[in-house]
Chain A
Amino acid sequence: MKKLQSTSDMEKLRKELLQKRDSSKSCISICSGTGCHAYGSEKVVSAFENELKKQKLEGKVEIKRTGCHGFCEKGPIVVIYPEEICYLQVKIEDVTDIVSQTIKAGKIIDRLLYTDLKTGKKVVHESEIPFYKNQTRLIFGNNRKIESKNIDDYIALDGYNALGKALSEMTPEKVLGEVKKANLRGRGGGGFPAGRKWGSVRNAPGEPKYVIVNCDEGDPGAYMDRSLMEGNPHSVIEGLIIGAYAIGSHEGYVYVRQEYPLAVENTELAIKQAEEYGLLGKDILGSGFDFTIKIHRGAGAFVSGESSALMSAIEGKVGEPRPKYTHTSEKGLWDKPTCLNNVETWANVPFIINKGADWFRNMGTENSKGTKIFSLVGNVNNTGLVEVPMGITLREIIYDIGGGIPNGKKFKAVQTGGPSGGCIPESQLDIPVDFDELGKVGSMMGSGGMIVMDEDTCMVDIARYFVKFLSQESCGKCTPCREGLRHMLRILNDITSGKADEEDIELLEELCEVVKDASLCALGQTAPNPVLSTLKYFRDEYEAHLQGECPAKVCKELIQYYIDPEKCKGCGLCLEKCPTGAISGEKKGVYTVDVEKCIKCGACFEVCNFDAVSKISSKECK
């Protein structure tokens, strides 16, 4: 690999790469994102390789292992180019058919296509599937076109063009001005304007200055940073180099969560490849600008995603936040000015430089520009990663893209913003999604987790779940967070087991206020949000629990399992599955549950084919 000395060198390389590529040549692109990988996409890839050999098509057809396509619900996803035929849930058994029918004869295999939930029609092309059709896939769209481990794929798709443009045509001030004008806001949760942060780091006294990519995606229910970092690491690296140029930094870090080994692997490789091309290192593209990147692997602590905690983790210390009398933009990593942004924020930068701030400002709402990637998960038909322009309504995301709630259940709430966010009820579904509007209804944008909950979800249990999560993750440095959360959890445990009264709810509300006002970092300050938002919109559920009833029949202490003698066919499946021998009865007879022995694991409820097992409230039982 030859080092690129200038932007014209890069242009030449891009032309060569494009010339080498035959656009009419068939290419099988197979999603190798985490979801598809878990479904066994790697086996599908090797099945394709074997099949192509067998049918003597080796070398005539290209195979690409791409990053996450987003539609994880239906993985493994296989897309055949140039026709863009999209096959879903492909198994090893389907591979022979795909090669002999689609690749050789150009015939489409109906059984592997997407079936529209509403019309029942088959959809051939990926972009026509409602899940994709209603998205604006700006940042995330390239994931499916490039092989994650191949820098040439990225360069061929205009990759590193923005870097060339910034280094050769723009001064650092101009780059900074463009990002400020675009009003790019931090995608990691807070929504702080990136341009302003860059400006203050640039102007802060002290050398050297550092830039950091925050890929410590700890929010349960969010995995877009992982998919970007695994699927298209160069887009993040390019953004980081441009940012470093604007800020005047020569050293960068990528902080990756320990749970994401593939992200570490792909980023390491991407950095190596960029160094070989001279896109990192000394005198980048002949501009005289030097920049290097190091990777730091996290070791599993949610609170380390907070900026000051993350910096002390990089220093090799315990990742605890510190009071921010002085901002990290002035004294951050090793007490030097440091700019930390989220993966998605950095990935936005090349687009702003390439297409201009005005183009970027065309998307989104008044104060939130551009697009945002959400992980749409939970009780929704089409789970996966979706990228939408800011300002789209929650209803559009859940129903048009997500395809609504499965199994004919009713929608109850959508939880956004991770553990710091809140639950939004049906009545608020038509608000536009942006940083400010979500805040108004008691939630927040957060890193973009969007968990849909159906009528079988208990909102008190959800509040308890988040408080439990946060009390475990609290680093324990400040008292309000450490002790406050512990007591909130105790009260919520009492409520979900039917041992609380009205006064406990009042105390809970009071504790919420204290924790919110007095905690040191954002973890504690936002921790009461799940409780406050569920209290605001679902107070009736809290009150039902006080009366000893869980409306959604989730809280174990308040329910009993019961077998309806009318419906029971006496098949004995529940008896077989019961781990504690609480079910008794004879084949062809009627089975009964022994309440004393039952541990309420729900195994009988899940296996019954005749809906004979039901959950009833303990109160009713007595």
Chain B
Amino acid sequence: MKKEKAKTHFVGVRLTEEQKRALSKLEKTSDLSKTDILLRGLELLSEYYSLGLDRPPLNAELKKLENEAMHHFQELKRIKRREESVREMVQELRDIDKIIDEYNGDKSALIQILLKIQAKNHWLPKPALMWVSERLDIPMSQILNIATFYKAFSLDPQGEHLVRVCLGTACHVRGGPKILDAAEQFLGVEPGETTSDLKFTLEGVNCLGCCALGPVMMVDDVHYGKLDSSKVGEILSKYRMKEVERSEDKRKGVIPIIHESKPPKSS
């Protein structure tokens, strides 16, 4: 019953039967939602009145209506986004459940479980760690101890592309540090940091295990061997210009929903 009523009192406008029919017909024939149709209609009206065909009080009323519609539209969008975020979060936790179930909730499999979460998200979001702590009954402090001890884990979101420059001995004697310098110069970040556009994360690693190709740089899962510092910029700019796409699954981070639920700033 309530729902029915909400439909007839759309954005505070009482529609006549005829108008309602026209609206639902329009809704069926176009891809637009009721709010969109109404907004568009209001837009047309406002254009009409702005040509000087209106009287001032009518214009003010129109403005009020328009604001109300706009506010309603924003609110709806926000609710949808929040719903989406929550669904995503729940999905994330369900995925973690699946990973934990693979190991039958075995406490000693903690590192393996974290590795799988890391591989999926490319970082370890806090909610994920809290859930692991809850499910495995391991204190959060112990989980953070492990997550900070091993280099494979990251507690910050990583860039879209992971750039790893090998600094193993074989690469070192063939000029590995210069490759890292060139990558730092190009990206404008230090090793271990992510560019502000979240496009690249730069890392200096100790051995990529293909020493015969030194000096080596790896971008995502592609090796670039026998480099010199002038080639680094060329390679990375290809990624920046999106000439090379990621081959594997797209990196996915958890949307921080806290920012989404803030009320919009009134201006």
**Chain A interface (Cβ < 8 Å from any Cβ of B):** 34-35, 37-39, 72-73, 75, 217-223, 226, 258-260, 296-302, 313-320, 375, 377-379, 383-384, 415, 418-419, 449, 451, 453-454, 457, 462, 465-466, 469, 473, 475, 577, 579, 599, 601-603, 606-607
Contact = CB atoms under 8 A, between A and B. Distances in A.
Interface in B173-188: 173-175, 178, 181-182, 185-186
Given A35-B213, A38-B213, A462 B115 contact: no
B115 A73 contact: no
Given A299-B153, A319-B150, 4 more contacts: A221-B168, A221-B169, A462-B173, A601-B181
A220 B207 contact: yes
A72 B185 CA distance: 30
B110 interface: yes
The 7 closest A-B pairs by CB, nearest first: A220-B168, A72-B212, A38-B223, A299-B150, A300-B151, A377-B170, A383-B212
B111 interface: yes
A164 to B, nearest CB: 33
A299 B114 contact: yes
Contacts of A35: 210, 212-213
B76 interface: no
B176 to A, nearest CB: 10
A313 to B, nearest CB: 7
Interface in B153-200: 153, 167-175, 178, 181-182, 185-186
Contact of B209 (A260, A299, A383): A260
A379 B111 contact: no
Given A223-B209, A299-B111, A606 B229 contact: yes
Contact of A469 (B145, B170, B206): B206
Given A299-B150, A319-B149, A378 B174 contact: yes
A179 to B, nearest CB: 29
8 contacts: A34-B210, A38-B225, A219-B207, A220-B168, A299-B111, A320-B149, A383-B170, A451-B211
Nearest to B170: A377
A223 B169 contact: no
A221 B211 contact: yes
B230 interface: yes
Given A297-B115, A299-B115, A377-B214, A218 B229 contact: no
B192 to A, nearest CB: 11
A494 to B, nearest CB: 18
B52 to A, nearest CB: 58
Q: Which of B149, B167, B214, B223 has the most CB of A within 10 A?
A: B149
B109 interface: yes
Given A35-B210, A38-B210, A316-B110, A415 B169 contact: yes
B115 A218 contact: no
A300 B212 contact: no
A417 to B, nearest CB: 11
Contacts of B91: none
A301 B151 contact: yes
B207 A296 contact: no
Given A299-B115, A603-B182, A217 B209 contact: yes
B212 A317 contact: no
B86 interface: no
Contact of B173 (A37, A316, A457): A457
A298 B111 CA distance: 8
A33 to B, nearest CB: 9
B260 to A, nearest CB: 32
Contacts of B70: none
Contacts of A300: 150-153
Contacts of A296: 111-112
Interface residues of B, number: 45
A313 B111 contact: yes
Contacts of B170: 220-221, 375, 377-378, 383, 449, 451
B182 A318 contact: no
Given A300-B152, A602-B229, A218 B206 contact: yes
A475 B228 CA distance: 33
Contacts of B207: 218-223, 259
Given A317-B146, A319-B149, A378 B173 contact: yes
B146 A603 contact: no
B14 interface: no
Nearest to B112: A297
A606 B228 contact: yes
B212 A377 contact: yes
A296 B206 CA distance: 21
B19 interface: no
Q: Which of B110, B206, B211 has the most CB of A within 10 A?
A: B211
A160 B205 CA distance: 38
Nearest to A318: B149
B30 interface: no
A449 B207 CA distance: 12
B208 interface: yes
B225 A39 contact: yes
Nearest to B228: A606
B103 to A, nearest CB: 10
Nearest to B106: A316
Contacts of A313: 111
Q: Which of B169, B181, B186 has the most CB of A within 10 A?
A: B169
B149 A301 contact: yes
Given A72-B210, A296-B112, A299-B152, A601 B185 contact: yes
B174 A258 contact: no
Contacts of B126: none
A187 to B, nearest CB: 17
Contacts of B94: none
Nearest to A259: B209
Interface string B90-119: 000000000000000001111110110000
Given A299-B151, A318-B145, A449 B110 contact: no
Q: Which of B115, B151, B208, B212 has the most CB of A within 10 A?
A: B212
Q: Which of B114, B146, B207 has the most CB of A within 10 A?
A: B207
Interface in B211-257: 211-214, 216, 223, 225, 228-230
Nearest to A472: B206
Contacts of B223: 34, 37-38
A75 B54 CA distance: 79
Contact of A220 (B206, B213, B228): B206
